[in-house]
Chain A
Amino acid sequence: MGGNLMVGLNIALSGLEAQQAVISVTGQNVANANTPGYSEQVANLVANPPYSPPALHQNNGPGQFGMGVTVGSITRQTSQFLNLQAWNNNASLSADTQTAQTLGQVQSLVNEPSSTGLNSAMDAFWSAWANLANDPSSGAASAQVVSAGQALTSQFHNLASGLSSTQTDLNQAVAQQASQVNQIAGQIAGLNGQIAADTAAGQNPNDLEDQRDQLVSQLSNLIPVAVTWQQNGSVTVSSGTVAFVDGTHTLTLTATPDPTNNNFYALTWGPGGVPADFAGGGQLGATLTLRDQTIPGYLTQLNGLAAGIASQVNALQTAGTDAAGAAGQAFFEPSTGSATAADIAVNPAVVSNPSLVATGANPSGGPGDGTTAQAVSDLQNKTFLAGSTQTPSDFYAAFVGGLGADAQAAQSGQTNAQALQQSISQQQQQVSGVSLDQEMTTMVEAQNAYGAAATLTTTINTMLGDLITMMQ
């Protein structure tokens, strides 16, 4: 039975079919060589069960005959371990990238070290007071003090409004990124459904799984995610304790304006659901941290500087006397409450009449008395900030240095995460990437095997022909 020519033809046919399958999988690999997220596929060839199967009453013979080849399965080459590492790293890479980018903008806004930043404006302000102290009765020197004061307040306003508009932009980004999360989560849930159905039908939905991995990767850029695989082939994606993609079911990340936080968006899983907390991870987590902590921190420092300068200058001014011997008045507004970087301004009465600037210490001092103006100029060396430990210049330098350190930390975090991503991605490519050289080799092998099977068919055909001719 085993030596049957018809069986030989069938074996040759199985070879032809199997090699065709190999060629078509190779074709698929070559076509997708540059497709992002595509994993190389392999046609796993297995020998057919041999004839005859073992039985109790077996004919004597040479033993079992092989019955040709079949494609057992087509599987994708992937490592879920590497994928998990990549997704974890994506969250920190995106967070640092977002932070570095935003702080880069803030650094450009602050524009230090330069001769046009707030530091120079402060120095010019103190200097104008010193000049006024040297020549207290000079109208030009008082006017100079007022204009240096206005230059200083306008620097404060620029910084405050720049930081506030950065915050507003970040808030817009929060809503936008939340909707991206929802969109991707929906796509993953859809793929979960298809994959579960295909798996139940005994298929290997390789390409759908690749697409799903790719979507999870995109999602992990936005927020830190944890992924678990289910028996039916679907995945559960969670953020913290919230499984927001579970099979085909999703929870929507909902953005609602929060009246306790400048009406900025607060995020919950589902309307009125669990508050979303990404602990600063992913692009969205970094955006939230920047909006709610980093930028407000900078604003607080600037407000402290503005308020400190305003209250110190005003205290000296109201205790002094102007050139005409009249009691001095507040130099900076607002006169009630403490000034902020956004609302500090030179008293309009002083702007319209710079001779109201107090220069002397008491009414009998005379026009040559520059004691008060000198005292204001000397504020630059007085430690009245940060709990009476820092001069205005120290305080501002520490603010700029702190900003620089934050930006530098984000930049180096980004560089490190990039290096790690590069290394993980190389390993992923090593496992899943399409090697054209390998595909070409497989192609040549399959081509040769196909040719050989074809030759086998021809040979058996000739043998059968001979047999038929003999019988005629």
Chain B
Amino acid sequence: MRVTSGMTASMVETSLQNIQTQLAQVQGQMASGHRINQPSDDPIGTENVLQWQNAIDQNTQYQSNAQDAVNWLGSTQSALQQAVSLAQQIRSLAVSAGAGSLTAAQLQTIAQQIASAESSLVNVGNTKVGDSYIFSGQQTSTQPFTQSGTAVTYGGGSGTIQREIGPGQFVQANADGNAALTPVFQAISAILYDLGPGGNPANVATGASLSGTNPYNPGPQGDLAQLDSAITNLTDVEGQAGAQMQQAQNAQGQLTTLATSLQQLQGGVLNDNLAQSVVQLQELQVNYQSALAAASTILQQSLASYLH
């Protein structure tokens, strides 16, 4: 093979440039920490990275939705617990009122105690998270419970408040205030009516024979029995809120795990393997230096140097 001066020079130039191109690439990867800096570095990988990014961003949103649901349900649960305890307090007052052999003054005191507990219960029913009434259905800016005299009316809306915790997967973040508390308020109003001027204290406990005379107790059971079934209903709603809470918290746990694995998946494709890059960089540096040394030796020489 005939080797000419131009061949040597262009080979030296090409090999030095090849090494420098590779050096630049490895340096770019190490500097950014990413194996993919442009879609052309790995088109399929880029597609995956983008789709995983979308999944990660959605997951973050679902986590924040689940947290929001947990906040709502936390407030709902504690409000319902307070409501149960207030209702039971009222029940024991009613039991003592129905025991008989009480003076009118004593009965009036009990009625006042019950009325004050009822007001507290109305406040509980009007609990807010942020600016929203949590027992008012979707009418979150309307106060759900209004008290006039002994009667309490529900003015809120219907419908559920939902939070998305997965694609097309929702958790209910509220409890139906109307269903939970309205029977309780009705039972309390019935008790207060029977303890009041037109009522009969005996009906608190029994009331079966006088069915129809108390506008708040359709009968035939007594006021206490009506309160008991309202409390049972309230406890059921509380239990349901607890179950929803459990669902939201489970979702949070799953979403966190999913986020970690998505990030690992994305990182596996996107992130640079630093150890590998360092080794590669060192190899390239050695190559580069030997290429330089070889070039400087070969390029200096020709027969002309030895002719005198």
A binding-site residues for B, Cβ under 8 Å: 33-34, 40, 103-104, 107-108, 110, 112-113, 119-120, 122-124, 126-127, 130-131, 133-135, 137-138, 360, 365-369, 374, 377-378, 380-381, 393-394, 396-398, 400-408, 411, 422, 425-426, 429-431, 433-438, 440-441, 444
Contact = CB atoms under 8 A, between A and B. Distances in A.
A104 B167 contact: no
A142 B268 CA distance: 37
A425 B10 contact: yes
Contacts of B7: 426, 429-430, 433
Interface string B216-244: 00000000000000000000000000000
Closest 7 CB pairs of A and B: A404-B39, A433-B4, A404-B43, A368-B140, A407-B40, A401-B47, A123-B57
B40 A401 contact: no
Contact of B138 (A34, A108, A368): A368
B219 to A, nearest CB: 35
B44 A113 contact: no
Nearest to A115: B53
A426 B168 CA distance: 64
B6 A433 contact: yes
Contacts of A119: 50, 53-54
B293 interface: no
A434 B61 contact: no
A396 B49 CA distance: 12
B105 interface: no
Contact of A33 (B5, B46, B68): B5
B51 A422 contact: no
Contact of A368 (B36, B157, B164, B307): B157
Nearest to B306: A440
Contact of A401 (B39, B61, B303): B39
Contacts of A107: 38-40
Contact of B168 (A103, A134, A381): A381
Given A130-B65, A426-B11, A430-B2, A404 B164 contact: no
Contacts of B132: 135, 137, 368
A393 B38 contact: no
Contacts of B50: 112-113, 119, 393, 396-397, 400-401
Given A107-B38, A130-B164, A435-B2, A441 B303 contact: yes
B275 interface: no
A290 B239 CA distance: 65
A403 B57 CA distance: 23
A365 B39 contact: no
A437 B138 contact: no
A422 B46 contact: no
Contact of A378 (B139, B140, B168): B168
Interface string B150-178: 00000001010111100110000000000
Contacts of A400: 39, 46-47, 50
A438 B4 CA distance: 9
Nearest to B58: A380
A265 to B, nearest CB: 28
Nearest to A405: B43
Given A366-B157, A434-B5, 18 more contacts: A34-B6, A113-B49, A120-B53, A126-B57, A130-B61, A367-B139, A368-B139, A368-B157, A381-B58, A397-B48, A398-B47, A401-B39, A402-B43, A404-B41, A430-B7, A434-B6, A435-B4, A436-B302
Contacts of A396: 50
Given A126-B61, A436-B304, A368 B159 contact: yes
A377 B50 CA distance: 18
B43 A366 contact: no
Nearest to A123: B57
Given A368-B139, A435-B4, A127 B61 contact: yes
A123 B38 contact: no
A437 B301 CA distance: 9
8 contacts: A123-B53, A123-B57, A368-B132, A369-B138, A407-B40, A411-B40, A433-B7, A440-B303
B130 A135 contact: yes
Contact of A365 (B41, B64, B159): B159
A425 B4 CA distance: 12
A408 B43 CA distance: 8
B45 to A, nearest CB: 9
A401 B46 contact: yes
Nearest to B37: A113
A210 to B, nearest CB: 14
A438 B3 CA distance: 10
Nearest to B51: A397
Contacts of B14: 422
B242 to A, nearest CB: 21
A215 to B, nearest CB: 19
A345 to B, nearest CB: 24
B39 A368 contact: no
B3 A435 contact: yes
Given A425-B10, A437-B303, A368 B136 contact: yes
B195 to A, nearest CB: 37
A369 B137 CA distance: 9
A124 B168 CA distance: 19
B279 interface: no
| Candidate in A134, A435, A441, A444 with the most chain B CB atoms within 10 angstroms | A134
B264 interface: no
Contacts of A137: 131-132, 140-141
Contacts of B58: 123, 126, 380-381
Contacts of A40: 4
A335 B162 CA distance: 31
Contacts of A365: 138, 159
Contacts of B4: 40, 429-430, 433-435, 438
Nearest to B266: A113
Nearest to B15: A422
A407 B42 CA distance: 10
B51 A394 contact: yes
B142 A366 contact: yes
Interface string B1-36: 111111100110010000000000000000000101
A133 B140 CA distance: 13
Nearest to B56: A123
A368 to B, nearest CB: 4
A366 B140 contact: yes
